[in-house]
Amino acid sequence: MSSPIQTPPPLVPLRPRRRSFAGPFVLIVLGIVFLLGNLHMLSWMRLGTLFAHYWPALLILWGVIKLIEYQQAQRDGVPARGIGAGGVFLIIIIVFCGLIATQASRFNWGEIRDNMNIDDSDLDNLFGETYSFDDHLEQNIPPAATSLRVNDDHGAVRVSIANENKITVVVRKRVGAESKSDADKYNRQATPTITMAGNVIILDAKTQAAGDHAVQSDLDIAIPRKMELHITSRRGDVSVTGREGEVEINSQHGDVSVEDVIGNVKLHLEKSSAKVEQITGDVHIDGRLNEVSVTDVKGGAQFEGEFQESVKLAHISKNVSFKSSRTDMEFSRIDGDLDLDSDDLHADQLTGPVHLTTRSKQIRLEDVSGDLRLEDEHGGIEVSMRSLGNVQIDSRNGDIHLSVPDNAGFHVDARARDGEIQSDFPEVKIDNNEHEAKASGSVGNGAAHIVLNNEHDGIEIRKASAKASVAPPVPPAPPAKPPRSLPPPKVKVEPTEN
């Protein structure tokens, strides 16, 4: 019995798998995005912000496309295409760039830009152009108005004297944009305004009204001399000339200049420099500053904060107070000059009582009158007294050189560890032992008391007249000996603030 022959089923030809359209879809989206950017229909900054917030939507669209392809393959009876190596690579790129963009969008770019001293216009030029606009504001000043308040977030402010009883403002504006039409729109949004609040005139530059788009408004302001002035500026120089009334300025990242003011001056500065001259009143400066110069002040001066570069003071008629992380000083007045930087302090014609505490500085004080209390570490000290009062100097790792008038009366107590004591006054008895030197004695009426303490260096007590007489004789004469320089401070790492 023969077995029946089974006929194999007919072969059904396999339908080819369709190509995935996820890749072309991504190319189309990217092409549209770049086209809109090149046509200035969307700004590159805006596109970056949108991507930082909505990049997960790209993964959702990718998943939807792959799901549609899978269902289509099931209906057609063909195997569904996988993601593939190229798809995996593209997903990794999207996730990686998206996470970076999201974190970047959370940064305070304004603060970072300020710390790096980057101007807004520098960023604008990367993605657009800078357009200039001019404007003019003018308004009569009501009789009740006594002060002006200026708010300018970005731009220079200059205040001068007006010949009439009105406020005049010349505005010079720079706008960053990708087209002229955009710049015109941002310019209209950032139009300065003048309003009244009680007896205060408020001038607002409105630089923030354009949102994220950079607008810089320089203001030239003319007002009557007898008006108080309050200025707030985040980025830009500030200049004030000719005021009768209080001047108060809050400034960041700019140079501030105040001159010819009858009244008090208050400066609150952040990473700025200050120049103040010809003030009939008190001066108060605080914050974190670079260079400071204050001269010709009829009142007192107070400084408090961190001073990164140099401080120059001259001709301040009343009490001066200075406080920083490294230096604390106070004296009654200064008729000469004082220069202070990270390594040196030099002053002449100081009137005491003088209190000075600092470290890691070479100190030279000339023509000091009255009481003196000085402390220093890791720096030499040279003091010349014009009118002797009570003196106490404490030093560590630096020589002490004290010059007093030869006709002065004083009692001295001095001690130097690991150093010697020298004196031009024979009345002072000196005992220079191997490890510690001591000196004591009274000169004249002994009215003033001098206390000198030094760790690890020497002490010299000289007559001021003898010091002044050191001069080269008339020719012919041997070459003058170079002046003795103070020894360098011993090595110690210190911060750079004054």
Q: How far apart are CA 195 and CA 149, in angstroms?
A: 10
Beta strands (DSSP E) in 205-264 are: 215-223, 228-235, 238-244, 247-252, 255-262
One-letter identity of residue 424: D
Q: What is the mean pLDDT of residues 131-151?
A: 93
Whether the per-residue pLDDT at 498 is higher than 80: the answer is no
pLDDT at 104 over 80: no
Per-residue pLDDT tens for 143-169? Answer: 889 999 999 999 999 999 998 999 999
Residues 6+ apart with CB under 8 A from 201: 141, 145, 147, 148, 149, 167, 194, 195
| Lowest-confidence region among 34-38, 243-247, 336-340 | 34-38
Q: Given a cut of 60, is residue 405 above it in pLDDT? A: yes
Tell me if 183 sits within 8 A of 219, measured CB to CB: no
Q: For residue 183, which phi and psi values (nearest 5 degrees)? A: -65, -40
Q: Which residues contact 159 (CB under 8 A, 6 or more apart)?
A: 150, 221, 222, 223, 229, 231, 239, 240, 241, 243
Cα separation, 406 vs 190, in Å, equals: 69
User: Alpha carbon of 181 to those of 28, 186, 209, 245, 399: distances in Å?
Assistant: 28, 9, 17, 43, 70
| Contacting residues for 4 by C-beta, under 8 A, at least 6 apart | none
Strands 333-340 and 215-223: unpaired
What integer pLDDT is reported at residue 375 of this predicted model? 95
Average pLDDT along the chain: 83
What per-residue confidence (pLDDT) applies to 111? 52
Residue 64 one-letter amino acid: V
**For 467-477, what is each residue's pLDDT tens digit?**
444 444 444 44
pLDDT reported for residue 218: 95
Distances (CA, A) of 61 to 26, 51, 55, 338: 10, 14, 10, 70
